[in-house]
Amino acid sequence: MIRGAAKEKYDKNPELIRRYRAGDEDAGESIVLLNKPLVCSIASRFASRGVDIEDLVAIGNIGLVKAINTFDFSRECAFSTYAVPLIFGEIRRFLRDDGMIKVSREEKRLSAIVCAERERRQAEGESTAISDIAVALGISAAEAASALTAGAPIRSLDESAYVDDDSVTLGNTIFDEDEEQRNFDRLSLGMAIEKLDEWQRKLIVLRYFRDYSQTEVAKLLGVTQVKVSREEKKILGKLREMMG
């Protein structure tokens, strides 16, 4: 979430975008640096996907640049809120289309040896269990299993995951679409809440993050329950506008 001085920094986005579009290349670099924490935060959510975090940040920056070039100043939302889905989308697209597993030369060599031994055993009717292949080659079962995986053909994430069901692709089984949408929603909501004044933030935190009733919130904030109800509706409407 964006707090204090950090919020003031992000408020510089519109000015920098206007300068960049007017031909100021330095302003473009400033926008990228200013929003680096946002890109890094989103990239870190994909850190377990087997891709170097620096590569993910670089891909996320492509989404950021797209947001810089397409941001509509007439939209009543912060630039960071607008940029989040583009950054998410660029990283997810990269993982879907280009995130192929890279195999070293040594892994390829061992894979060829393991596959050849398995084929020989199949032809001669011998056991093709991973453990038996590993013993025959003088390697560990883990190494043998890894070598077989390395030698497996790379399949497109757009291929059907199941033989009798074309509606589910391999990509759908790997990426949880709902989870990513929830991540985006949480991040966008956090940014929107930070744009509220301190009193409004307290009300929302007490009501929706600590589960206090309107009556309890009224006592804590020193106002009437009617005022809490009225202000809550206004704030929720404001949040919807900022996120919409």
The answer to whether residues 65 and 130 belong to one domain is no
Residue 193 pLDDT more than 70? Answer: yes
The reply to whether 14 and 90 lie within a common domain is: yes
Amino acid at 98: D
Residues 213-223 have pLDDT tens digits of 888 888 888 88
Beta strand 160-162 pairing with 165-169 = antiparallel
Could you tell me if 110 and 73 lie in one domain? no
User: Left (φ > 0), alpha (ψ -120 to 50) or beta: where does 185 sit?
Assistant: alpha
pLDDT-derived band at 170, boundaries 50, 70, 90: very low
- State pLDDT tens for residues 72-124: 888 767 888 788 888 888 888 777 765 444 456 677 778 788 888 888 888 88
The domain of 112 spans 104-150
Shared domain for 16 and 90, answered yes or no, is yes
Q: In this structure, are 49 and 121 located in the same domain?
A: no
Structural domain contains residue 161 = no
pLDDT tens-digit series, residues 145-157 = 666 655 555 444 4
pLDDT of residue 196: 85
CATH of the domain at 208: 1.10.10.10
Strands (E), 117-208: 160-162, 165-169
What CATH number did the domain enclosing 32 receive? 1.20.120.1810
In this predicted structure, what is the pLDDT of residue 113? 85
